[in-house]
Amino acid sequence: MRTGEPYGSGGSLLISRRELATRIDELAADISSRYASQERPLVCISVLKGATFFLADLIRALSIDVAVDFMSISSYAASGPDSGVVRIIKDVDEDIAGRDVLLVENIVDTGLTLTYLRRTLLARQPRSVATVTLLDKSARRIVPVPIEYAGFEIPDVFVIGYGLDHQALYRNVPDIFEVPDIAALRKDPALLVTSLFGSQRD
């Protein structure tokens, strides 16, 4: 299947698993070479849940040893979705003072989450903090935020698959699909399940 080709009813392929694998190898090579000479292993920190798919593939493509840790955060509902006000539900286990940290995100949209994470981690005196994101939806940015490594720049479209969900569905679709009719998906969250899981993809 070629990128952009309509798939089933209502989803079109945006980035295939082959394109993902190729780009992840390229990112991994850049990251490996940047951190190859460090004394202590790089700490890769991912935010639950969607970014864990990218994290798992990225770190297995690295040629350096790394530590892996996770955070879970939640927006304060009362502050509104675009407030950038979040609370930590699960913090990292590693002491990152003096360490090189790589934040591993699957998508940067408004930039509010990444801004919060960077501020929180930088306050702990790491040696450095850099970010790799698989997808960069820069058209939606509210706050500018540094991104050292970005896999794909994508337009302002709703995407599912490879960790990206809609109401907890579609995370384990191996490719990334664009949803042109988000209103239909909101009405019926399981609308694309049969088409995305029911057929053979290459």
Q: Does residue 107 touch ligand PRP according to CB under 6 A?
A: yes
Q: Which is nearer to ligand PRP, 16 or 113 (CB)?
A: 113
| Alpha helix segments (H runs only) across the chain | 17-35, 51-61, 112-122, 182-187, 193-197
Name which of residues 43 to 102 contact ligand PRP (CB under 6 A): 47-51
**Among positions 3, 110, 120, 138, the unique one binding ligand PRP when judged by CB under 6 A:** 110
Using DSSP's 3-state secondary structure scheme, residue 9 falls into: coil
Q: Does residue 151 touch ligand PRP according to CB under 6 A?
A: no
Using DSSP's 3-state secondary structure scheme, residue 125 falls into: coil
Give the nearest distance from C-beta 159 to ligand PRP in angstroms: 10
**Among positions 27, 113, 134, 192, the unique one binding ligand PRP when judged by CB under 6 A:** 113
Alpha-carbon span 19 to 21, nearest angstrom: 5
Q: Does residue 105 touch ligand PRP according to CB under 6 A?
A: yes
80: left (phi over 0), alpha (psi -120 to 50) or beta: left
> Using CB under 6 A as the criterion, which residues of the chain lie in contact with ligand PRP when the complex forms?
47-51, 105-114, 165
